[in-house]
């Protein structure tokens, strides 16, 4: 019986390790997503359920939606899960995404001190921003090209106040959690998605003051990055995630995610 030499054995070990590394790499995809889906705790609830049925790990990079789209444009992600429909449709029209699918929705809310010194409380986001501007009230904007920031800018525009936000307006260039922390520390107003707010622990004296305006609707979409732009994209595995999250099973997992008995996201794939 002939035994392999030490050199041959080392070569075999290297080959096995290399093939194992390639196999392990093939068992995961990279998802570029928003801070709201990550900081709300949704992925901690959602992704283990997906792995159980697919065997795939999902490596999430949580950014503002604008940055998440830019990451995918560079080919650094396989799948996108974000919440700025106008920007998402543009991403697909430019050929960077194959097709956009609606997944779920919730809403934006305007948060501020419980005492509401600027008198914003109500159900009209445009009227609230007009009061905020007129009173030069402290307001923390994410200022990071996120889906939340894009929505906020739409509301300022609707109020004809794009260039007149008041002297209390400050941009942090940060994610939703840090923006809420800054508002809590400064007693300032801030716009947030409801899910991140519900999962936020450092509320201090903050409370929801403006909600219920239909303009505060917050839709999320998912899409596979187009391999025609970046050949290394794991299209088949990314499509497995899209197919699952828009299926009855995936939609059910989304609906089941609650904090304190309150549902954070409402599935609406195919609607």
User: What is the rounded average pLDDT for all residues in the chain?
Assistant: 91
CATH code that applies to domain 28-105+220-267: 3.40.190.10
> String of b and e for 45-62 (b: at least 16 CB within 10 Å)?
ebbebbeeebebebebeb
pLDDT band at residue 17 under the 50/70/90 scheme: very low
Q: Which residues contact 96 (CB under 8 A, 6 or more apart)?
A: 69, 72, 73, 225, 226, 229
Residues 2-31: what's their mean pLDDT? 53
On the question of a common fold for 28-105+220-267 and 107-216, the answer reads yes
261 DSSP assignment = T
Query: Maximum distance among all alpha carbons in the chain?
Result: 90
> Three-class SS string for 201-249?
CCCCCEEEEECCCHHHEEEEEEEEECCCCCCCCCHHHHHHHHHHHCCHH
- Cβ atoms of 82 and 34 within 8 Å: the answer is yes
The pLDDT tens digits of the residues spanning 131-150 come to 999 999 999 999 999 999 99
Whether 6 shows a pLDDT value over 60: the answer reads: no
Please, which residues bridge with residue 192 across strands?
109
- Cβ atoms of 62 and 38 within 8 Å: the answer is yes
- Predicted TM-score (pTM) of the model is 0.85
144 DSSP assignment = S
Residues 56-70: what's their mean pLDDT? 96
Torsion angle of C-alpha atoms 249, 251, 255, 257, degrees rounded to 10: 80
Closest CA to 29 of 74, 88, 77: 77
Q: Domain 107-216: what homologous superfamily?
A: Periplasmic binding protein-like II (3.40.190.10)
Please give the Cα distance from 156 to 149 (Å, whole number): 11
Q: How far is CA 55 from CA 45, 79, 237, 240, 241, in A?
A: 16, 17, 10, 11, 11
The pLDDT tens digits of the residues spanning 75-112 come to 999 999 999 999 999 999 999 999 999 999 999 999 99
- Which residue ranges make up each domain of the chain? 28-105+220-267, 107-216
Terminal C-alpha separation, the chain: 67
Output the pLDDT for position 9. Answer: 41
Please give the Cα distance from 225 to 18 (Å, whole number): 27
Output the pLDDT for position 5. Answer: 53
Output the pLDDT for position 31. Answer: 98
Residues 198-208: what's their mean pLDDT? 93
Residues 75, 79, 239, 218, CA torsion sign? negative
Closest CA to 97 of 66, 73, 63, 61: 73
Output the pLDDT for position 79. Answer: 98
| 3-class secondary structure, 153 | helix
Question: What percentage of the chain reaches a pLDDT higher than 90?
Answer: 87
């Amino acid at each position: 019986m002939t035994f392999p030499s030490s050199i041959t054995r080392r070569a075999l070990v290297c080959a096995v390790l290399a093939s194992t590394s390639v196999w392990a790499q093939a068992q995961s995809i990279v998802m570029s997503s928003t801070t709201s889906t990550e900081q709300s705790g949704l992925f901690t609830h959602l992704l283990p359920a997906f792995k159980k049925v697919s065997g795939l790990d999902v490596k999430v990079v949580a950014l503002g939606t604008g940055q998440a789209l830019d990451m995918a444009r560079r080919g650094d992600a396989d799948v996108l899960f974000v919440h700025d429909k106008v920007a998402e449709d543009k991403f697909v029209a430019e050929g960077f995404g194959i097709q956009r699918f609606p997944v779920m929705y919730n809403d934006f809310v305007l948060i501020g001190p419980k005492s509401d010194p600027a008198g914003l409380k109500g159900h009209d986001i445009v009227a609230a921003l007009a009061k905020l501007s007129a009173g030069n009230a402290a307001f923390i904007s994410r200022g990071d090209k996120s889906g939340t920031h894009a929505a906020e800018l739409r509301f300022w525009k609707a109020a004809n106040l794009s260039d007149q936000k008041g002297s209390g307006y400050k941009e942090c260039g940060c994610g939703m959690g840090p923006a809420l922390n800054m508002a809590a520390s400064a007693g300032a107003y801030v716009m947030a998605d409801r899910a991140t707010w519900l999962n936020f622990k450092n509320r201090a004296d903050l409370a929801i003051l403006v909600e219920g305006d239909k303009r505060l609707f917050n839709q999320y979409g998912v899409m596979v990055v187009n391999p025609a732009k970046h050949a290394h994209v794991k299209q088949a595995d990314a499509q497995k995630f899209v197919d699952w999250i828009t299926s009855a099973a995936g939609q059910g997992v989304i609906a089941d995610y609650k904090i304190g008995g309150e549902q954070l996201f409402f599935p609406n794939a195919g609607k």
